[in-house]
Amino acid sequence: MNVLFEQAGNWLPHLWNGLKLSLGVTVASLLIGLPLGFLLSLGVISRSRAVRYGALAVVEIGRGAPSLVLLQFAYFGLPSTGLVFSSFAASVAALSWSTAAYSSEIIRAGLQSVPAGQSEAALATGMTRLDTMRFVVLPQGLRIAIPALLGFAILIFQTTSLCFAIALPELTSRAYEIGTNTFQYLPALTLAGLLYLAVCVPATLIVSWVEARAAS
Amino acid sequence: MAEIAAQVLLGLPWTIAVTALALAIGLVLGMPVMLARRSRWPWLRFLTGSLITLVRSIPPIVWLFLIFFGIGSGYFKISPFAAAVVGMGLISSAYMAEIYRGALLSIHSGQMEGASALGLHPVRVWIDVVAPQLFRVALPAMATFAIGLLKDSAVSSTIGVPELTFQANAQSMATYRGMEVFSFVAAVYIALSVPVAWLSRILDRRLRAKVSR
């Protein structure tokens, strides 16, 4: 373990750049995935059967297939259709799909937890369906969904480690690279593990604080 | 395509073995971890809580690398399969402990008090009173977790366990038909999770019928 302390200074800048890339993929996937997830959640509860089944298929494939397979599908599979992605674009595409699929279920659960009487009352007072959604159901439903969405954001950050498999130089890839170059796998990977902890532990504490606040 | 599918399916037993063994480790080790998590000694509670957070905050792939390359590249050799089972088993122990703990919260404390007031031995209280209810309450969460574990087992392809995703990768490189190969393997994973969900619903109904309400 002594190597860890001797080399930490040399390795940290390299790993730090990897961590920034991991966070970049996380943020990009959330920015694209969450709005899509919201649209999918509306699709799944839509009254039109075609829209409902279409949205359900996107959600169930996104949740049912391992993220690793989605990543490899985007990076190794799509080029045969002529769509060539860089490893960053492929990572963001695959993880946005994952995000959209999982968050749509979280948002749907939030929207459906708003008592039906709320929207019935809004419709009875003459509000249009769109206004009922916009002013009555959404503000309450999204608030319920927020703690679960934050928890999911941490999960997506951890999932970016799988981009190792499609040669994206994020945190895990860089720790592995240091390992192969120096044969110091244990200290390099330990350092990467500590960096993941440094992000996830405070984030987890914040999420449980938000959860506790939302519950009271 | 049939040939490719047959090659990919060679990985199926490995995927099932990694998932089932890791789940079994979690089901067994999760119990003592959960008991330590709600021990009467604050230091043990804190220690267990921190360990659970530690295990869950580091991505599975990093755990597998730490075990396979970190520990396994020294004097202590470990096969990819063993490393995957140990790593995934470690992770599922931490998750199962939290699932058990959540389920235990839903069992009324009067149940335990009543059982011990009747003179039941503490071990019998756990086996005859708490455990049957605990498993019933925990079952849906356990099924969700098992399906998640099945998908996470794909990560073991990165350390060379010849499971589904590993075979898919090899086929995609050999045939340059990544599109078909990865669509097929995704369909296999989805098909695998359907029976687990179905089995959990049946088990749930049976356990409900057995234990009152």
A189 to B69: CB separation less than 8 angstroms, yes or no: yes
B174 Cβ under 8 Å from any chain A Cβ: no
For chain B, which ranges sit under pLDDT 50?
A: none
Phi and psi dihedrals of A183, rounded to 5? 60, 15
Tell me the C-alpha distance between B15 and B38, whole Å: 34
Tell me the C-alpha distance between A11 and A20, whole Å: 14
State the burial class of residue A119 (Cβ atoms within 10 Å of its Cβ: 0-12, 13-18, 19+): middle
CATH at A40: 1.10.3720.10
Quickly count: other Cβ atoms within 10 Å of residue A215's Cβ. Answer: 7
Tell me the C-alpha distance between B13 and B81, whole Å: 12
Domain total of chain B: 1
Cβ–Cβ under 8 Å, residues A132 and A181: no
pLDDT computed for residue B41 by the predictor: 94
Q: Which of A60, A80, A192 sits opposite B178 (nearest CB)?
A: A80
Domain membership of residue B117 as a residue range: 2-210
Residues with Cβ within 8 Å of A19's Cβ and at least 6 positions away in sequence, in order, are A170, A171, A195, A199
Q: What is the mean pLDDT of chain A?
A: 91
pLDDT computed for residue B169 by the predictor: 92
B151 to A66: CB separation less than 8 angstroms, yes or no: yes
Q: Which residues of B touch A185 (CB under 8 A)?
A: 65, 69-70, 73
A162 Cβ under 8 Å from any chain B Cβ: yes
State the burial class of residue A127 (Cβ atoms within 10 Å of its Cβ: 0-12, 13-18, 19+): middle
Task: Give the tens place of pLDDT for each residue, A20-48.
Answer: 999 999 999 999 999 999 999 999 888 89
Tell me the C-alpha distance between A27 and A31, whole Å: 6
Domain total of chain A: 1
CATH at B108: 1.10.3720.10
A209 Cβ under 8 Å from any chain B Cβ: no
Å between B27 CA and nearest CA of chain A: 22
pLDDT computed for residue B212 by the predictor: 53
pLDDT computed for residue A1 by the predictor: 58
Mean per-residue pLDDT, A54-81: 91
Quote the ipTM score: 0.88
A67 Cβ under 8 Å from any chain B Cβ: yes
Domain membership of residue A106 as a residue range: 2-215
Mean per-residue pLDDT, A138-156: 93
B69 to A66: CB separation less than 8 angstroms, yes or no: no
Mean per-residue pLDDT, A181-201: 92
Task: Give the tens place of pLDDT for each residue, A162-184.
Answer: 999 998 999 999 999 999 998 88
Å between A83 CA and nearest CA of chain B: 11
pLDDT computed for residue B210 by the predictor: 67
Task: Give the tens place of pLDDT for each residue, A69-119.
Answer: 999 999 998 887 888 889 999 999 999 999 999 999 999 999 988 998 999
Residues with Cβ within 8 Å of B50's Cβ and at least 6 positions away in sequence, in order, are none
A69 Cβ under 8 Å from any chain B Cβ: yes
pLDDT computed for residue A107 by the predictor: 94
pLDDT computed for residue B211 by the predictor: 60
